[in-house]
Amino acid sequence: MKISHIDVFKFNIPLKAPIAISLGTIESARNLLVRIHADGLIGWGEGSPFWMIVGETQETGYAAARDFARLLIGQNALDIEGNLNRLDAYLPNHPTLKSAFDMALYDLAAKAARMPLYAFLGGTKRTLVTDETIYLNSPERMAQDAIRIKEKGGVAIKVKLGTNQRDDIRRVEVIREAVGGGIPIRTDANQGWDYVTAVNVLRTIQDWNIEYCEQPVKAWNIADLKQLRQKTTVPLMADESLFHHRDALRLAQEAAVDYFNIKLSKSGGIFNALKINTIAEAAGIPCMIGCMSESRLAITAKAHFASARRNITFFDLDAPFEHAADPVVDGVVYDGYAVRLSDNWGIGAEIDALFLESLENYTIR
Protein backbone atom coordinates (compact mmCIF):
# COMPACT_ATOMS: atom_id res chain seq x y z
CA MET A 1 0.00 0.00 0.00
CA LYS A 2 2.33 2.69 -1.32
CA ILE A 3 1.95 6.38 -0.56
CA SER A 4 1.57 8.16 -3.90
CA HIS A 5 1.13 11.82 -2.95
CA ILE A 6 0.47 14.06 0.03
CA ASP A 7 -1.48 17.34 0.22
CA VAL A 8 -0.72 19.92 2.90
CA PHE A 9 -3.07 22.80 3.76
CA LYS A 10 -3.01 25.89 5.95
CA PHE A 11 -6.18 25.07 7.82
CA ASN A 12 -7.50 28.39 9.16
CA ILE A 13 -10.72 28.44 11.16
CA PRO A 14 -12.17 31.69 12.55
CA LEU A 15 -13.02 31.88 16.24
CA LYS A 16 -16.13 33.41 17.74
CA ALA A 17 -13.88 35.51 19.99
CA PRO A 18 -10.19 35.57 20.97
CA ILE A 19 -9.11 32.85 23.42
CA ALA A 20 -6.97 33.98 26.37
CA ILE A 21 -4.89 31.76 28.67
CA SER A 22 -2.00 32.68 30.93
CA LEU A 23 0.53 31.94 28.18
CA GLY A 24 -1.06 34.20 25.55
CA THR A 25 -4.05 34.87 23.32
CA ILE A 26 -5.02 33.44 19.93
CA GLU A 27 -7.29 35.25 17.47
CA SER A 28 -8.01 32.30 15.15
CA ALA A 29 -7.25 28.61 14.83
CA ARG A 30 -4.24 28.46 12.49
CA ASN A 31 -4.03 24.71 12.05
CA LEU A 32 -2.35 22.32 9.62
CA LEU A 33 -4.16 19.74 7.53
CA VAL A 34 -2.49 16.73 5.89
CA ARG A 35 -4.08 14.41 3.33
CA ILE A 36 -2.19 11.22 2.42
CA HIS A 37 -3.11 9.20 -0.69
CA ALA A 38 -2.34 5.48 -1.01
CA ASP A 39 -3.89 2.85 -3.30
CA GLY A 40 -7.08 4.84 -3.80
CA LEU A 41 -7.60 5.54 -0.10
CA ILE A 42 -7.20 8.89 1.65
CA GLY A 43 -6.03 9.51 5.19
CA TRP A 44 -6.78 12.81 6.91
CA GLY A 45 -4.76 14.38 9.72
CA GLU A 46 -4.82 17.70 11.57
CA GLY A 47 -2.55 19.47 14.03
CA SER A 48 -3.10 22.66 16.02
CA PRO A 49 0.24 24.38 16.75
CA PHE A 50 -0.01 26.55 19.87
CA TRP A 51 3.38 28.24 19.59
CA MET A 52 3.46 29.13 23.30
CA ILE A 53 3.15 25.46 24.26
CA VAL A 54 4.69 23.36 21.47
CA GLY A 55 7.16 25.84 19.96
CA GLU A 56 5.62 25.53 16.49
CA THR A 57 3.62 27.85 14.28
CA GLN A 58 1.51 27.21 11.22
CA GLU A 59 4.29 28.68 9.06
CA THR A 60 7.05 26.48 10.48
CA GLY A 61 4.88 23.39 10.16
CA TYR A 62 3.78 24.26 6.64
CA ALA A 63 7.43 24.58 5.58
CA ALA A 64 8.65 21.43 7.35
CA ALA A 65 5.76 19.36 5.98
CA ARG A 66 7.35 19.50 2.51
CA ASP A 67 10.32 17.49 3.71
CA PHE A 68 8.16 15.16 5.80
CA ALA A 69 6.01 14.42 2.77
CA ARG A 70 9.03 13.70 0.58
CA LEU A 71 10.29 11.21 3.16
CA LEU A 72 7.03 9.25 2.97
CA ILE A 73 6.38 9.18 -0.79
CA GLY A 74 6.69 5.60 -2.00
CA GLN A 75 6.67 4.13 1.50
CA ASN A 76 4.21 1.52 2.75
CA ALA A 77 1.36 3.46 4.34
CA LEU A 78 0.67 0.59 6.75
CA ASP A 79 4.15 0.80 8.29
CA ILE A 80 3.08 3.42 10.81
CA GLU A 81 6.01 2.97 13.19
CA GLY A 82 8.58 2.95 10.39
CA ASN A 83 7.14 6.07 8.80
CA LEU A 84 7.02 7.96 12.09
CA ASN A 85 10.58 6.89 12.85
CA ARG A 86 11.65 8.44 9.53
CA LEU A 87 10.15 11.75 10.57
CA ASP A 88 11.75 11.60 14.02
CA ALA A 89 15.16 10.77 12.59
CA TYR A 90 14.97 13.63 10.11
CA LEU A 91 13.72 16.43 12.38
CA PRO A 92 13.48 16.30 16.19
CA ASN A 93 10.50 17.74 18.06
CA HIS A 94 7.72 19.33 15.92
CA PRO A 95 5.07 17.15 17.64
CA THR A 96 2.09 19.03 16.21
CA LEU A 97 3.13 18.54 12.61
CA LYS A 98 4.00 14.92 13.30
CA SER A 99 0.60 14.41 14.90
CA ALA A 100 -1.08 15.42 11.62
CA PHE A 101 0.95 12.85 9.65
CA ASP A 102 0.42 10.23 12.36
CA MET A 103 -3.34 10.80 12.33
CA ALA A 104 -3.52 10.50 8.54
CA LEU A 105 -1.54 7.24 8.63
CA TYR A 106 -3.86 5.76 11.26
CA ASP A 107 -6.87 6.88 9.23
CA LEU A 108 -5.48 5.09 6.17
CA ALA A 109 -4.64 1.93 8.08
CA ALA A 110 -8.07 1.68 9.68
CA LYS A 111 -9.77 2.29 6.34
CA ALA A 112 -7.63 -0.41 4.72
CA ALA A 113 -8.73 -2.76 7.51
CA ARG A 114 -12.37 -1.65 7.00
CA MET A 115 -12.70 -0.75 10.65
CA PRO A 116 -13.55 2.39 12.61
CA LEU A 117 -10.43 3.72 14.27
CA TYR A 118 -11.53 2.82 17.81
CA ALA A 119 -11.85 -0.83 16.73
CA PHE A 120 -8.54 -0.72 14.83
CA LEU A 121 -6.95 0.41 18.11
CA GLY A 122 -8.44 -2.60 19.86
CA GLY A 123 -11.25 -0.85 21.70
CA THR A 124 -14.99 -0.44 21.72
CA LYS A 125 -17.27 2.51 21.10
CA ARG A 126 -18.43 4.42 24.14
CA THR A 127 -20.07 7.80 24.65
CA LEU A 128 -17.69 10.40 26.04
CA VAL A 129 -18.82 13.49 27.95
CA THR A 130 -16.74 16.62 27.54
CA ASP A 131 -16.36 19.58 29.83
CA GLU A 132 -16.42 23.16 28.52
CA THR A 133 -13.67 25.72 29.08
CA ILE A 134 -14.03 29.26 30.40
CA TYR A 135 -11.11 31.40 29.24
CA LEU A 136 -9.45 34.23 31.14
CA ASN A 137 -11.64 37.25 31.66
CA SER A 138 -13.08 39.27 34.53
CA PRO A 139 -14.53 37.17 37.37
CA GLU A 140 -18.02 38.45 36.57
CA ARG A 141 -17.80 37.54 32.87
CA MET A 142 -16.40 34.10 33.70
CA ALA A 143 -19.26 33.54 36.15
CA GLN A 144 -21.77 34.35 33.41
CA ASP A 145 -20.13 31.73 31.19
CA ALA A 146 -20.28 29.22 34.03
CA ILE A 147 -24.02 29.80 34.48
CA ARG A 148 -24.53 29.27 30.74
CA ILE A 149 -22.63 25.96 30.86
CA LYS A 150 -24.59 24.73 33.86
CA GLU A 151 -27.90 25.65 32.22
CA LYS A 152 -26.86 23.71 29.09
CA GLY A 153 -26.36 20.59 31.23
CA GLY A 154 -22.58 20.69 31.65
CA VAL A 155 -21.14 18.02 33.92
CA ALA A 156 -17.92 19.92 34.64
CA ILE A 157 -16.59 23.44 34.09
CA LYS A 158 -12.96 23.97 33.16
CA VAL A 159 -11.65 27.34 34.33
CA LYS A 160 -8.50 29.00 33.01
CA LEU A 161 -6.38 30.67 35.69
CA GLY A 162 -2.72 31.61 36.09
CA THR A 163 -2.56 35.39 36.38
CA ASN A 164 -2.17 36.37 40.05
CA GLN A 165 -3.25 35.03 43.41
CA ARG A 166 -5.97 37.57 44.22
CA ASP A 167 -7.68 37.56 40.82
CA ASP A 168 -7.53 33.79 40.39
CA ILE A 169 -9.05 33.09 43.79
CA ARG A 170 -11.75 35.64 43.05
CA ARG A 171 -12.51 34.00 39.69
CA VAL A 172 -13.11 30.61 41.29
CA GLU A 173 -15.03 32.12 44.20
CA VAL A 174 -17.44 34.04 41.96
CA ILE A 175 -17.96 31.05 39.67
CA ARG A 176 -18.67 28.76 42.60
CA GLU A 177 -21.16 31.25 44.04
CA ALA A 178 -22.86 31.54 40.66
CA VAL A 179 -23.32 27.83 39.93
CA GLY A 180 -23.62 26.39 43.43
CA GLY A 181 -21.60 23.60 44.94
CA GLY A 182 -22.71 20.62 42.88
CA ILE A 183 -20.95 20.96 39.53
CA PRO A 184 -17.19 20.24 39.72
CA ILE A 185 -14.69 22.89 38.64
CA ARG A 186 -11.53 21.85 36.78
CA THR A 187 -8.82 24.50 37.02
CA ASP A 188 -5.93 25.08 34.62
CA ALA A 189 -3.14 27.55 35.38
CA ASN A 190 -1.08 26.81 32.22
CA GLN A 191 2.20 27.25 34.19
CA GLY A 192 1.11 30.70 35.36
CA TRP A 193 1.98 30.42 39.07
CA ASP A 194 5.17 30.18 41.04
CA TYR A 195 5.27 27.64 43.85
CA VAL A 196 4.17 29.99 46.63
CA THR A 197 1.24 31.35 44.63
CA ALA A 198 0.17 27.83 43.68
CA VAL A 199 0.17 26.75 47.33
CA ASN A 200 -1.85 29.78 48.41
CA VAL A 201 -4.42 29.55 45.61
CA LEU A 202 -4.97 25.81 45.85
CA ARG A 203 -5.22 25.79 49.64
CA THR A 204 -7.80 28.56 49.45
CA ILE A 205 -10.01 26.87 46.86
CA GLN A 206 -9.46 23.21 47.74
CA ASP A 207 -12.79 22.83 49.59
CA TRP A 208 -14.81 24.32 46.72
CA ASN A 209 -15.35 21.04 44.80
CA ILE A 210 -12.22 21.43 42.64
CA GLU A 211 -11.76 18.26 40.61
CA TYR A 212 -8.12 18.94 39.74
CA CYS A 213 -5.62 21.63 38.76
CA GLU A 214 -3.70 21.36 35.50
CA GLN A 215 -0.09 22.47 35.27
CA PRO A 216 0.05 24.94 38.17
CA VAL A 217 3.82 25.62 37.83
CA LYS A 218 6.40 25.71 35.04
CA ALA A 219 6.61 22.62 32.87
CA TRP A 220 10.23 21.92 33.73
CA ASN A 221 9.76 22.26 37.49
CA ILE A 222 8.96 18.68 38.46
CA ALA A 223 10.41 19.21 41.94
CA ASP A 224 7.92 21.97 42.78
CA LEU A 225 5.11 20.01 41.17
CA LYS A 226 5.90 17.03 43.38
CA GLN A 227 6.19 19.18 46.49
CA LEU A 228 2.97 21.03 45.70
CA ARG A 229 1.13 17.74 45.57
CA GLN A 230 1.88 17.30 49.27
CA LYS A 231 0.57 20.78 50.16
CA THR A 232 -2.98 20.61 48.82
CA THR A 233 -5.86 18.18 48.54
CA VAL A 234 -6.54 19.35 44.96
CA PRO A 235 -5.34 16.60 42.59
CA LEU A 236 -2.71 17.78 40.12
CA MET A 237 -2.64 17.05 36.40
CA ALA A 238 0.39 17.26 34.11
CA ASP A 239 -0.14 19.04 30.80
CA GLU A 240 2.82 21.05 29.49
CA SER A 241 5.13 18.80 31.54
CA LEU A 242 3.96 15.83 29.47
CA PHE A 243 4.87 15.64 25.79
CA HIS A 244 6.07 12.08 25.23
CA HIS A 245 6.38 8.72 26.96
CA ARG A 246 9.73 9.60 28.53
CA ASP A 247 8.02 12.50 30.31
CA ALA A 248 5.29 10.11 31.44
CA LEU A 249 7.85 7.71 32.88
CA ARG A 250 9.61 10.48 34.81
CA LEU A 251 6.38 11.93 36.19
CA ALA A 252 5.25 8.48 37.29
CA GLN A 253 8.60 7.65 38.89
CA GLU A 254 8.60 10.96 40.78
CA ALA A 255 4.94 10.54 41.85
CA ALA A 256 4.61 14.20 40.84
CA VAL A 257 0.96 14.26 39.70
CA ASP A 258 -2.34 12.46 40.04
CA TYR A 259 -3.44 12.65 36.39
CA PHE A 260 -2.02 13.00 32.87
CA ASN A 261 -3.44 15.21 30.12
CA ILE A 262 -2.72 13.55 26.76
CA LYS A 263 -2.95 15.81 23.71
CA LEU A 264 -2.11 14.45 20.27
CA SER A 265 -0.57 17.78 19.21
CA LYS A 266 1.90 17.42 22.11
CA SER A 267 2.62 13.70 21.90
CA GLY A 268 3.23 13.65 18.15
CA GLY A 269 0.07 11.68 17.53
CA ILE A 270 -1.70 8.46 18.41
CA PHE A 271 1.37 6.22 18.28
CA ASN A 272 3.08 8.00 21.18
CA ALA A 273 -0.19 8.75 22.98
CA LEU A 274 -0.71 4.99 23.28
CA LYS A 275 2.70 4.67 24.94
CA ILE A 276 1.88 7.47 27.39
CA ASN A 277 -1.39 5.87 28.36
CA THR A 278 0.25 2.47 28.83
CA ILE A 279 2.79 3.93 31.26
CA ALA A 280 0.02 5.81 33.05
CA GLU A 281 -2.12 2.70 33.33
CA ALA A 282 0.79 0.68 34.74
CA ALA A 283 1.43 3.44 37.31
CA GLY A 284 -2.24 3.76 38.27
CA ILE A 285 -2.56 7.26 36.82
CA PRO A 286 -5.87 8.02 35.07
CA CYS A 287 -5.66 10.21 31.97
CA MET A 288 -7.58 12.93 30.20
CA ILE A 289 -7.78 13.43 26.45
CA GLY A 290 -7.28 17.14 25.82
CA CYS A 291 -7.30 19.49 22.85
CA MET A 292 -5.73 22.66 21.49
CA SER A 293 -7.97 24.39 18.92
CA GLU A 294 -8.63 21.56 16.50
CA SER A 295 -11.65 21.14 14.26
CA ARG A 296 -14.03 18.21 14.62
CA LEU A 297 -11.70 16.22 12.35
CA ALA A 298 -8.93 15.91 14.94
CA ILE A 299 -11.47 15.89 17.76
CA THR A 300 -13.00 12.80 16.16
CA ALA A 301 -9.60 11.09 16.05
CA LYS A 302 -9.10 11.96 19.72
CA ALA A 303 -12.51 10.55 20.57
CA HIS A 304 -11.62 7.26 18.84
CA PHE A 305 -8.39 7.08 20.83
CA ALA A 306 -10.13 7.86 24.12
CA SER A 307 -12.95 5.43 23.41
CA ALA A 308 -10.43 2.64 22.84
CA ARG A 309 -8.61 3.15 26.15
CA ARG A 310 -10.59 2.86 29.41
CA ASN A 311 -7.79 4.45 31.44
CA ILE A 312 -8.82 7.76 29.83
CA THR A 313 -11.48 8.95 32.23
CA PHE A 314 -11.61 12.73 31.65
CA PHE A 315 -12.59 14.32 28.34
CA ASP A 316 -11.75 17.86 27.27
CA LEU A 317 -12.97 17.90 23.68
CA ASP A 318 -14.64 21.29 23.49
CA ALA A 319 -12.42 23.14 20.97
CA PRO A 320 -15.11 23.32 18.23
CA PHE A 321 -17.39 25.19 20.64
CA GLU A 322 -15.15 28.24 20.07
CA HIS A 323 -15.10 28.00 16.25
CA ALA A 324 -17.16 30.35 14.12
CA ALA A 325 -17.22 27.82 11.26
CA ASP A 326 -17.41 24.03 11.04
CA PRO A 327 -15.89 22.76 7.77
CA VAL A 328 -15.97 19.08 8.80
CA VAL A 329 -18.16 16.49 7.11
CA ASP A 330 -19.34 13.62 9.34
CA GLY A 331 -17.19 12.94 12.42
CA VAL A 332 -18.30 13.13 16.04
CA VAL A 333 -21.71 14.50 16.90
CA TYR A 334 -22.21 16.63 20.01
CA ASP A 335 -25.43 15.81 21.85
CA GLY A 336 -25.20 18.53 24.45
CA TYR A 337 -21.91 17.62 26.07
CA ALA A 338 -22.02 13.96 24.98
CA VAL A 339 -19.56 13.16 22.19
CA ARG A 340 -20.82 10.36 19.95
CA LEU A 341 -18.84 8.37 17.39
CA SER A 342 -20.10 6.65 14.25
CA ASP A 343 -18.99 3.29 12.87
CA ASN A 344 -17.58 4.75 9.64
CA TRP A 345 -14.22 3.32 8.66
CA GLY A 346 -11.09 5.12 9.82
CA ILE A 347 -11.56 8.41 11.59
CA GLY A 348 -14.85 8.83 9.78
CA ALA A 349 -14.50 12.54 9.07
CA GLU A 350 -13.20 14.73 6.27
CA ILE A 351 -13.14 18.38 5.23
CA ASP A 352 -15.79 19.95 3.01
CA ALA A 353 -14.52 20.17 -0.58
CA LEU A 354 -15.58 23.81 -1.08
CA PHE A 355 -13.84 24.86 2.13
CA LEU A 356 -10.67 23.07 1.00
CA GLU A 357 -10.61 25.10 -2.20
CA SER A 358 -10.23 28.28 -0.16
CA LEU A 359 -7.11 27.06 1.67
CA GLU A 360 -3.49 27.67 0.69
CA ASN A 361 -1.95 24.29 -0.11
CA TYR A 362 0.64 22.29 -2.01
CA THR A 363 1.03 18.68 -3.13
CA ILE A 364 4.16 16.51 -2.93
CA ARG A 365 4.42 13.54 -5.29
The catalytic residues are: 160, 263
User: What one-character DSSP code corresponds to residue 298?
Assistant: H
Buried b (16+ CB within 10 A) or exposed e, 149-172: bbeeebbbbbbbbbbebeebbebb
d(CA 359, CA 111): 25
Alpha-carbon distance values, 50 to 28, 29, 327, 359 (Å): 11, 9, 20, 20
Helix (H) or strand (E) holding 280: helix 270-283
From the annotation, which residues make up the binding site? 188, 214, 239
Residues annotated in a binding site for Mg(2+): 188, 214, 239
Strand, helix or coil at 187?
A: strand
Q: Do β-strands 210-214 and 185-188 pair in parallel, antiparallel, or remain unpaired?
A: parallel
What is the C-alpha separation between 359 and 192, in angstroms, rounded? 35
Beta partners for residue 160, in sequence order: 188
